[in-house]
Structure 1
Amino acid sequence: MSDNFDAEWLQLREPFDGRARSVPLALLLADALPVRPRIIDLGAGTGSLFRWLAPYVGRTQIWTLVDSNAALLDRAFDDIAEAADRVGWTVTLPKPQIMLVHTPVGVWRVEAQLADLAEAPGNLKLDQADGVVSSALCDLVSHAWVARMAAALQVPFYAALNVDGHEGFFPPHPKDGLVARGFRRDQTRDKGFGGRALGPAAPAVLAQAFRAHGFSVTTAPSPWRIPAATPAMAEALADGHADAALRALPRALAPTVEEWRKARQLQAARGALMARVGHADLLALPPATPKPTRVIN
């Protein structure tokens, strides 16, 4: 994966994120929320999780999109408005940084909050939230960050698309192991959250931390499957792996990594490169919440 969270990368990955996330787990979250839920979205970016999850919540709801990048939050409002227009919904802007999406099942209010996520949860209004959600965030954070969040929350916590370490490119390449080794090292470097990033340990660390505070935890697989028919995504994924490997491996190995990159780029251009990236979605429900009745397969 890539650490490049610019709008173009987020747009490219959005359909793959949407197909990967567990719908049953999203419905479990929807069942656990009150009639008119207030939801905080951490690392919201361009609003991809809102666009995917809000229809499953399926009623009047209030979202606060939190990100440290003002440009992405601005783009989120544009993208949400465009998505609403495509299905014939009306959007109004009563105040700056507040959007109302008028849907057949109720009004969805969207607000933006510019904040440094490394300081969370201290800079979040958790007492005003009925649920805290995120997507592709928690494998970047540290053990300490998760511990603080689990200790502070008394509402459902939903974390989608946490990498689990099970991934690969197809067809195989002789240097896949080398690039994968560098990529795994880079996954756990400090990403600005006060310590080494969790990387593939994220699902287990999240589950342990929330269970220690009495939460019931449910997980579901949510792998990316990148077919050969999507060359732009396949190439971007290979480039991200190569960039990460170059950061983590000795400089003497850089020519080998670049050879791997060129080979994968050529395969992608020919429509011959496929990939799978393992993820897990997680839902932690506080002790007072009734146990889920839906079954996760």
Structure 2
Amino acid sequence: MSEGFDGDWLQLREPFDARARAVPLALALAAALPARPRIIDLGAGTGALFRWLAPYIGRTQIWTLVDSDPALIERAFAEIADAAERVGWGVQLPKPRVMLVLTPVGPWRVEAQIADLNEAPGVLKLEEADAVVSTALCDLVSRPWVARMAAALRVPFYAALNVDGREGFFPPHPADRLVARGFLRDQRRDKGFGGPALGPAAPGFMAAAFRARGFSVTTAPSPWRVPAAVPAMGEALADGHADAALKRLPRPLAAQVEQWRRDRALQAARGRLSAVVGHQDLLALPPAMPKTARTIN
């Protein structure tokens, strides 16, 4: 069973995700899709990727939101409906876990599938898909998981916001390296996908796996930039780093990590804590589709 995520955390990070994702890759994906694309969203959570990517696709489309957590799926439908109603679009619910968003460019159909993604791609209806997409997922999965996906797919694969290891909190702190070491160990533990998580190795390994299958792969940086003016996000990031580090470092080092946590929380409260978290977005197009440049700087 793969790990779950807190809906409030997903809500807090959504605007940072939206600003970070590489728009050129979204546009390249949209251009590669048919007139009425069918899209499978892996680890969809609260539907944030749908809310961001659907407007770039900009036409009638059908999405299947796949997640193991029914509560997140319910929240996704509620937040999609709220977002649609805020801009004056109609929403219909023809049956449970099916929604129609009535937009000026055509209806967007949203369906839900509750599934453990550790079993992917076997649990996915790939024969019905024109693309498989994800956000903040592929640094959690294992090498065998990516290899299976690359072998199974004959359609575009879009993976946004995969950590690349380039991150830091500002101002510097004497315990930064210690916390970072523990956090990295936690990133690489088994997250429920049949082996150690890729962590910062995800962008490079995914690119190699899909290129080996003949896909044209485009990557682009998509870093989070968290300003001191958003203390809730800075404190949440620091708290998550401290929690992860404490699980992976020897017990005698716990006092240093906890002091780092307290110092970072105080800096956030005073509007002095900022952070950068490096990510890479990836778009893999199958051999029959037009190729794009390999890297966008």
TM-score category of the 2 structures, normalised to the smaller one: over 0.9
- The answer (yes or no) to whether the contact 1:67–1:73 under 8 Å persists in 2 is yes
Q: Does 1:242 align with 2:274?
A: no
Residue equivalent to 2:212 = 212
Distance 1:114 1:243, change over 3 A: same
1:216-274: per-residue Cα shift (whole Å, max 9, x none)? 00000000000000000000000000001001100111111000000000000001000
TM-score (norm. length: structure 2) = 0.98
- What is the letter of the counterpart of residue 263 of structure 1? D
- The answer (yes or no) to whether the contact 1:24–1:295 under 8 Å persists in 2 is no
Summarize the alignment of residues 143-162 of structure 1 with structure 2, pairs less than 5 Å apart.
Answer: 143-162=143-162
CA distance in 1, matches of 2:4, 2:207: 27
Q: Secondary structure at the match of 1:5?
A: coil
Residue equivalent to 1:36 = 36
Summarize the alignment of residues 148-227 of structure 1 with structure 2, pairs less than 5 Å apart.
Answer: 148-227=148-227
- What is the letter of the counterpart of residue 214 of structure 2? G
Residue equivalent to 1:134 = 134
1:16-57: per-residue Cα shift (whole Å, max 9, x none)? 000000001100000011010000000000000000000000
Q: Does 1:15 align with 2:15?
A: yes
- Aligned-CA RMSD value: 1.2
1:139-172: per-residue Cα shift (whole Å, max 9, x none)? 0000000000000000000000000000000000
Distance 1:295 1:195, change over 3 A: closer
- What is the letter of the counterpart of residue 221 of structure 2? P
CA distance in 1, matches of 2:52, 2:84: 12
CA distance in 2, matches of 1:151, 1:247: 34
Work out the percentage of aligned pairs sharing the same amino acid: 78
- What is the letter of the counterpart of residue 38 of structure 2? R
1:174-228: per-residue Cα shift (whole Å, max 9, x none)? 0000000000111000000000000000000100000010000000000000000
Q: Does 1:72 align with 2:100?
A: no
Summarize the alignment of residues 86-101 of structure 1 with structure 2, pairs less than 5 Å apart.
Answer: 86-101=86-101
| CA shift for structure 1 position 294 | 11
Distance 1:138 1:295, change over 3 A: closer
Q: Secondary structure at the match of 1:168?
A: strand
CA distance in 1, matches of 2:291, 2:139: 26
| CA shift for structure 1 position 292 | 3.2
Distance 1:191 1:293, change over 3 A: closer
| CA shift for structure 1 position 119 | 0.3
Runs of 4 or more, structure 1, over 2 Å off, are: 292-297
- What is the letter of the counterpart of residue 264 of structure 1? R
CA distance in 1, matches of 2:29, 2:146: 19
CA distance in 1, matches of 2:59, 2:200: 34
CA distance in 1, matches of 2:295, 2:93: 39
| CA shift for structure 1 position 5 | 1.4
CA distance in 2, matches of 1:177, 1:257: 10
TM-score (norm. length: structure 1) = 0.98
- What is the letter of the counterpart of residue 195 of structure 1? G
- The answer (yes or no) to whether the contact 2:216–2:294 under 8 Å persists in 1 is no
- What is the letter of the counterpart of residue 204 of structure 2? A
- The answer (yes or no) to whether the contact 2:155–2:285 under 8 Å persists in 1 is yes
| CA shift for structure 1 position 296 | 3.5
Aligned residue pairs, count? 295
Return 5+ residue gaps in structure 2 as ranges.
none
Summarize the alignment of residues 249-268 of structure 1 with structure 2, pairs less than 5 Å apart.
Answer: 249-268=249-268
- The answer (yes or no) to whether the contact 1:28–1:294 under 8 Å persists in 2 is no
Return 5+ residue gaps in structure 1 as ranges.
none
| CA shift for structure 1 position 111 | 0.1
| CA shift for structure 1 position 291 | 1.9
Distance 1:196 1:171, change over 3 A: same
Q: Secondary structure at the match of 1:141?
A: coil
Summarize the alignment of residues 96-107 of structure 1 with structure 2, pairs less than 5 Å apart.
Answer: 96-107=96-107
